């Protein structure tokens, strides 16, 4: 059961986040609950158990529009997302209209990768490189500063997108939802569970922290609320004995290194807590 109290729902209604207004969910595969049944929207892999659906069930908005899509980079907010030349998803900001009173958004992680799944793509590269230097940091050595450069570019795009959201829906409360604890603080916990060197586990963990910090700073600069999902998922990372984020070989329906159904539920709780705070 969602940990939504009566006071949370009351606050959301009073702040114009539910009732007769529209709630729009934007974002990437973490927002879409990619891989979690039941799936819809084709290559977008949108789940009816993503955190947006769970928040909408609690708030009962007048209208709920979910345009999240796996593989969405920040640019997918303003331009159509395509695959092999075919349109997968229209510009997500098209769903944000003057009647919108609540927007949630998780995006920027896919800007790290060269393929559809961003951070997971980086982790897969780290796994492949681990055999070249099992005791070193071959992944960090390969990427050098390029991930930081990609984040800087994504932050500038996110800043512009948040301004557009406010322009499209001046009455909307905008929540930018961060990324959960994909990896543990202690790299040793991943020994035998993830084929990445301990040094590169630490590198990936630092990249995730930089990603969340960048998203949080950008959100706050544009009058949006940042929702921390890393803290409530600590101890349930992909290398834990009770994961809410799946590993490179998922044991529950979800994409590799993405939240499973419980992970999406915890992210929904964090959004509801932010609305009630």
Residues identified as active-site: 29, 258
Which two three-digit tokens encode residue 49? 């158990």
How far, in whole angstroms, is CA 232 from its chain's centroid?
14
Residue whose C-alpha is closest to residue 51's, from 276, 277, 273: 273
- Residue 76 · residue 69 · CB < 8 Å: yes
Q: What is the DSSP string of the chain?
A: -----HHHHHHHHHTTSSTTSEEEEEESHHHHTTTSSSEESGGG-EETTSHHHHHHHHH--SEEEE---TT--GGGGTS-EEETTEEEE--GGGG--TTEEEEEEE-SGGGG-SSTTTHHHHHHHHHHHGGG-TTS-HHHHHHTTHHHHHHHHHHHHHHHHHHHHHHH-TT-EEEEE-----S-SSGGGGTTTSSS-HHHHHHHHHHHHHHHHHHHHHHHHTT-EEE--HHHHTT-STTSSS-SB--SS-SSSS-TTSB-HHHHHHHHHHHHHHHH-
- Taking each helix axis from N to C terminus, what angle separates 146-168 and 198-221, rounded to the nearest 10 degrees? 30
Cβ within 8 Å of residue 213, ≥6 positions away:
none
């Amino acid at each position: 059961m969602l940990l939504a109290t009566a006071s949370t729902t009351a606050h959301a209604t009073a702040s114009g986040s539910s009732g007769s207004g529209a709630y729009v969910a934007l974002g990437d595969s973490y927002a879409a609950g990619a891989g979690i049944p039941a799936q819809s929207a084709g290559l977008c892999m949108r789940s009816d158990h993503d955190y947006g659906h769970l928040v909408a069930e609690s708030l009962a908005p007048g209208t709920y529009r979910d345009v999240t899509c796996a593989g969405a980079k920040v640019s997918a907010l303003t331009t159509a997302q395509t695959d092999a030349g075919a349109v997968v998803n229209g510009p997500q900001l098209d769903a944000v209209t003057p009647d919108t009173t609540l927007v949630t958004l998780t995006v920027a992680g896919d800007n790290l990768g060269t393929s559809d799944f961003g951070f997971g793509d980086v982790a897969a590269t780290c796994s492949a490189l681990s055999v070249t230097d099992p005791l070193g940091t071959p992944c960090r050595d390969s990427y050098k500063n390029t991930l930081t450069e990609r984040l800087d570019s994504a932050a500038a795009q996110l800043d512009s997108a948040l301004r557009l959201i406010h322009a499209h829906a001046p009455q909307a409360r905008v929540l930018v939802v961060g990324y959960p604890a994909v990896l543990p603080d202690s790299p040793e916990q991943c020994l035998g569970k993830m084929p990445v060197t301990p040094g590169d586990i630490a590198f990936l963990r630092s990249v995730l922290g930089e990603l969340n910090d960048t998203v949080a700073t950008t959100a706050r600069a544009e009058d949006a609320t940042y929702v921390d999902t890393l803290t409530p998922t600590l101890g349930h990372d992909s290398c834990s004995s009770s994961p809410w984020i799946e590993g490179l070989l998922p044991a529950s329906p979800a994409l590799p290194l993405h939240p499973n159904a419980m992970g999406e539920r915890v992210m929904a709780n964090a959004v509801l807590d932010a609305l009630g705070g």
